[in-house]
């Protein structure tokens, strides 16, 4: 199939991009890496009249530490950069750990973190990792910029709290602390496929005890999902077998995956428990 005809503009600033959107009567779409949008257009699942190419906006670039020590990731950060960048490895290691599981190298070279999170595919790795990292998402709109906690960002399947025309500018991720431990893995039929279930874990363990646990799952429901009961079950433990079993058991209250034509909900919950147990076991046995 061939995409329907469309117009194209390449603004030089965020303000120009927002103006272009405002002038398009709701028929415009921003394009950055295009790794989801272009196939959707080729399949005529989406047929915007105007593409606003934000891939060249300097304001959306950059990986740097804020004055408060947190990490600012420009929305245009590529998946491949998430894998390679030393600042990301230091402060947002879950992004680096998840990156190799995101599709294939050619896609990772083009796809952007902002695009992935704005699309809010619940089976994608980066949206769930933003939850696990406690990221805050900076968006720009006609009324100015605002910040949204990742917790509040994902609303439903492919739906976020961003308003039409708003532009994802950057992610703000709290600085890593000594004793933070992170791990990611997923179960996918083939390397690079969407996972049957995936999970990122970030534990604050400054002194051998879990002070805080953040556990986020992908592909278990309409939005990336924090496993708060499992987190609570882990908190205060020394990450021993009993604590891990308790966290696994608690997942039943956290996740309610639905049946689909491939994977029954009960199996997905089972896989989530197996995966969480393995991830926590890996952290427990790590030096």
Partner 1 sequence: MNAPLGALDRPNSYIGRSVSRPNAKRLLAGRGRYVTDLALPRMLHAAFLRSPYVHARIVSIDTEAARAMPGVRLVATGADLAALCTPWTGTLDHFKGMKSAPQHPLPLDEVTWSGQAVVAVVAESRAEAEDALGAIEIAFEDLPAVADLDAALRPDADRAANGAEDNLCFRARLDTGDVEDRFAAAAHVVEEEFRFGRHTAVTLEPRAILADWDASEGKLTVHHATQTPYQFQDLYSRHYGIPEANVRVIAPDIGGSFGMKLHVYHEDMAVIGLSMLCARPVKFVADRLESFVSDIHARDHRVRARMAVDASGEILAMDVDDATAIGAFSTYPRTSAVEGNQVIRLMGAPYRFRSYRAELSVVFQNKVQTSQYRAVGHPIACAVTERLVDMAAERLGLDPAEIRARNLIPDDAYPCDSPTGYKFEALSHQESLARLKALMDYDGLRAEQATLRARGVHRGIGIASFVEISNPSPAFYGIGGARISAQDGAVVSVTPSGEVRCAISVTEQGQGTETIVGQIVADQLGVPRERVRVTTGDTETTPHGGATWACRGAGIGGETALQAARRLRSNILSLAGTILQAKPADLDLRDGIVVEASSGSERIALSELARIAYFRSDTLPPDTSAQLTVAHHYAPQGYPFAFTNGIQGCHVELDAETGFVTILKHWVVEDCGRIINPLLVDEQIRGGVVQGLGAAFFEECRYDEDGQLTNGSLADYLVPMACEMPDIVVGHIETPTADTVLGAKGCGEAGTAASSAAALNAVNDAMRPFGASIAQLPMTPTRILAALGQF
CB closer to partner 1 out of 185 and 231: 185
159 binds partner 1 (CB under 8 A): no
Residue 190 in the binding site for partner 1 (CB under 8 A): yes
Per-residue burial over 84-106, b if 16 or more Cβ lie within 10 Å, else e, is ebeebeebbbbbbbbbbbbbeee
Under rule CB under 8 A, residue 262 binds partner 1:
yes
- Least separation in angstroms between CB 79 and partner 1: 17
d(C-alpha 116, C-alpha 127), whole Å? 7
Tell whether residue 184 is a contact of partner 1 (CB under 8 A): no
Stretch that binds partner 1, among 89-97, 191-199, 212-220, 235-243 (CB under 8 A): 191-199
- The Cα–Cα gap between 45 and 60 comes to 27
Task: For residue 216, give every residue at least 6 positions away whose Cβ sits within 8 Å of its Cβ, in sequence order, or none.
Answer: 128, 129, 131, 132, 199, 200, 224, 225, 226, 227
Q: Characterize the bridge pairing of strands 71-74 and 136-141.
A: unpaired
Among residues 3 and 55, whose Cβ is nearest to partner 1? 3
The answer to whether residue 2 forms part of the interface with partner 1 (CB under 8 A) is: yes
CA distance 215 to 261: 27
- Token pair for 106: 């050619």
* Min CB(217)–partner 1 separation in Å: 15
Of residues 86 through 145, those in contact with partner 1 by CB under 8 A are none
Closest separation in Å from C-beta 44 to partner 1: 7
Region from 61-69, 159-167, 221-229, 257-265 binding partner 1, contact rule CB under 8 A: 257-265
Q: Does 194 bind partner 1 (CB under 8 A)?
A: yes
When the beta carbons of 193 and 211 are compared against partner 1, the nearer one is 193
Sheet strand arrangement including 63-65: 63-65, 71-74, 167-173, 136-141, 144-149
CA-to-CA separations, 194 to 96, 125, 213, 267, 283, in angstroms, rounded: 17, 9, 25, 16, 24
| Contact code string over 49-78 relative to partner 1, x by CB under 8 A | ------------------------------
| Closest to partner 1 by CB, 141 or 281 | 281
Residue 3 interacts with partner 1 (CB under 8 A): yes or no: yes
196 is a contact residue toward partner 1 (CB under 8 A): yes
Q: Does 43 bind partner 1 (CB under 8 A)?
A: yes
If the CB atoms of residues 3 and 175 are measured against partner 1, the closer one turns out to be 3
CA distance 229 to 57: 41
Number of neighbouring beta carbons within 10 Å of residue 190: 6
Inter-helix orientation angle 265-285/241-254, to 10°: 150
Residues that bind partner 1 (CB under 8 A): 1-5, 43-44, 187, 189-194, 196, 261-264, 266-267, 269-271, 274
């Amino acid at each position: 199939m061939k995409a329907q005809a469309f117009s194209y503009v390449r603004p030089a600033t965020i303000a120009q991009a927002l103006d272009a959107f405002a002038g398009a009567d709701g028929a415009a779409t921003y394009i950055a890496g295009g790794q989801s949008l272009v196939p959707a257009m080729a399949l005529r699942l989406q047929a915007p009249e105007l593409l606003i190419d934000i891939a060249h906006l300097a304001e959306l670039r950059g990986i740097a530490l804020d004055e408060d020590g947190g990490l600012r990731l420009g929305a245009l950060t590529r998946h491949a950069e998430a894998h390679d960048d030393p600042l990301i490895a230091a402060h947002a290691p879950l992004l680096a750990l998840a990156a190799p599981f995101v599709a294939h190298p050619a896609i990772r070279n083009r796809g952007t973190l902002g695009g992935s999170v704005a699309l809010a595919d619940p089976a994608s790795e980066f949206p769930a990792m933003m939850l696990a990292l406690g990221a805050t998402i900076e968006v720009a709109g006609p009324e100015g910029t605002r910040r949204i906690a990742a917790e509040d960002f994902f609303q439903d399947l492919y739906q976020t709290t961003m308003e039409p025309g708003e532009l994802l500018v950057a992610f703000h991720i709290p600085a890593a602390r000594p004793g933070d431990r992170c791990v990611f893995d997923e179960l996918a039929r083939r390397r690079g496929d969407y996972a049957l279930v995936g999970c990122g874990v970030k534990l604050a363990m400054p002194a051998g005890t879990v002070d805080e646990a953040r556990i986020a799952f992908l592909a278990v429901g309409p939005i990336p999902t924090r496993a708060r009961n499992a987190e609570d079950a882990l908190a205060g433990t020394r990450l021993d077998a009993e604590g891990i079993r308790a966290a696994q058991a608690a997942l039943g209250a956290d996740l309610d995956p639905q049946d689909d034509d491939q994977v029954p909900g009960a199996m997905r919950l089972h896989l989530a428990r197996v995966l969480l147990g393995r991830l926590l076991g890996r952290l427990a046995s790590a030096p």
